[in-house]
């Protein structure tokens, strides 16, 4: 990856890891998991998407298990939730805001790493960005024994896809700069919060009339 984007990549990854660790830890607390379970679910939510991203683009070993900074941020998020979960539960609405911020950070971080990796096509880079953003949440929900939120909540993957598209298009036009990355993350955040506020959902199958 070009040195000019390394700091932005790390910042985006750290933001995404910590806030998704909070969400993973909160799910574990609500399921009455013990300390180990809380940390496992927090780390799964925080690092799962990035690990899948790195496996898809051939970056071995994935930074999610090799970079102590990301591992520390994930563990810290889980520990904070375990120790202060009554307070975290009281600010569930704020955690949702953090989750939207993490979604934006991971979508941009994933697509950025993909477009700066030789041999990754633009379409694949968009898909990698989306998978990075939603993958950890899917792993978290599967481990917790519930339907992944991405399949049943307000628009989630769509904002991540749009953010990834912005990054990939900017890269194709030779206009990829730090301000573009943070703007793309902001767009994802804003769209996600708008979907939550207005209860915007993807179309669902029409119910058939009872006979």
Tell me: the pLDDT tens digits for 85-119? 776 666 666 667 877 888 898 899 999 999 989 89
- Whole-angstrom Cα distance, residue 134 to residue 192? 13
pLDDT-derived band at 204, boundaries 50, 70, 90:
low
Give the torsion through C-alpha atoms of 172, 173, 175, 178, to 10 deg: -30
Is 203 within the bounds of a domain? Answer: no
**Is the pLDDT confidence value at 209 over 60?**
no
The closest of 17, 19, 32 to 82, measured between CA atoms, is 32
Q: How far is CA 129 from the centre of its chain?
A: 9
**Is the pLDDT confidence value at 137 over 70?**
yes
Report the pLDDT value the prediction gives residue 210, as an integer from 0 to 100: 55
Is 94 within the bounds of a domain? Answer: yes
Which residues span the domain enclosing 194?
3-198
**Is the pLDDT confidence value at 42 over 60?**
yes
In a 3-state reduction of DSSP, which class is residue 205? coil
pLDDT-derived band at 195, boundaries 50, 70, 90:
confident
Per cent of the chain over pLDDT 90 is: 36
Which residue would you say has higher pLDDT here, 130 or 211?
130
Task: Find the mean pLDDT for residues 75-83.
Answer: 91
Task: Name residue, tokens 């769209």.
Answer: 191
Report the pLDDT value the prediction gives residue 71, as an integer from 0 to 100: 93
Is 211 within the bounds of a domain? Answer: no
**Is the pLDDT confidence value at 203 over 70?**
no
Is 160 within the bounds of a domain? Answer: yes
Is 210 within the bounds of a domain? Answer: no
Per cent of the chain over pLDDT 70 is: 87
Give the torsion through C-alpha atoms of 163, 168, 170, 175, to 10 deg: 130
Tell me whether residue 134 is exposed, middle or buried, using C-beta atoms within 10 angstroms of its C-beta: 0 to 12, 13 to 18, 19 or more: buried
**Is the pLDDT confidence value at 205 over 70?**
no
For the stretch 140-180, pLDDT in tens is 888 988 888 777 666 888 999 999 999 999 999 988 888 89
**What total of structural domains would you count in the chain?**
1
**Is the pLDDT confidence value at 2 over 60?**
no
- Whole-angstrom Cα distance, residue 151 to residue 70? 27
Report the pLDDT value the prediction gives residue 167, as an integer from 0 to 100: 94
Is 127 within the bounds of a domain? Answer: yes
Helices assigned H by DSSP within 58-173: 63-66, 68-90, 92-115, 122-143, 157-172
DSSP secondary structure letter of residue 135: H
- Whole-angstrom Cα distance, residue 13 to residue 165? 18
Is 179 within the bounds of a domain? Answer: yes
The Cβ of residue 132 has, within 10 Å, a number of other Cβ atoms equal to 33
Is 206 within the bounds of a domain? Answer: no
The Cβ of residue 79 has, within 10 Å, a number of other Cβ atoms equal to 16
């Amino acid at each position: 990856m070009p040195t000019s984007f390394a700091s932005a990549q790390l910042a985006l990854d750290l933001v995404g890891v910590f806030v998704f660790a909070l969400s993973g830890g909160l799910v574990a607390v609500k399921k009455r998991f013990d300390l180990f379970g809380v940390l496992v679910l927090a780390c799964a939510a925080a690092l799962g998407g990035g690990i899948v991203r790195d496996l898809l683009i051939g970056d071995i070993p994935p930074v999610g298990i090799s970079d102590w900074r990301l591992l520390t941020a994930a563990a810290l998020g889980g520990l904070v939730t375990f120790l202060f979960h009554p307070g975290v539960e009281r600010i569930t609405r704020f955690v949702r805001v953090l989750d939207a911020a993490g979604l934006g950070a991971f979508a941009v971080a994933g697509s950025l790493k993909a477009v700066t990796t030789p041999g990754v096509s633009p379409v694949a880079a968009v898909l990698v960005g989306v998978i990075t953003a939603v993958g950890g949440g899917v792993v978290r929900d599967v481990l917790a024994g519930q339907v992944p939120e991405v399949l049943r909540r307000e628009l989630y993957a769509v904002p991540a896809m749009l953010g990834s598209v912005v990054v990939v298009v900017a890269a194709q036009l030779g206009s990829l700069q730090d301000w573009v990355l943070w703007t793309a993350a902001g767009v994802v955040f804003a769209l996600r919060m708008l979907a939550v506020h207005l209860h915007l959902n993807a179309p669902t199958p029409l119910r058939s009339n009872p006979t």
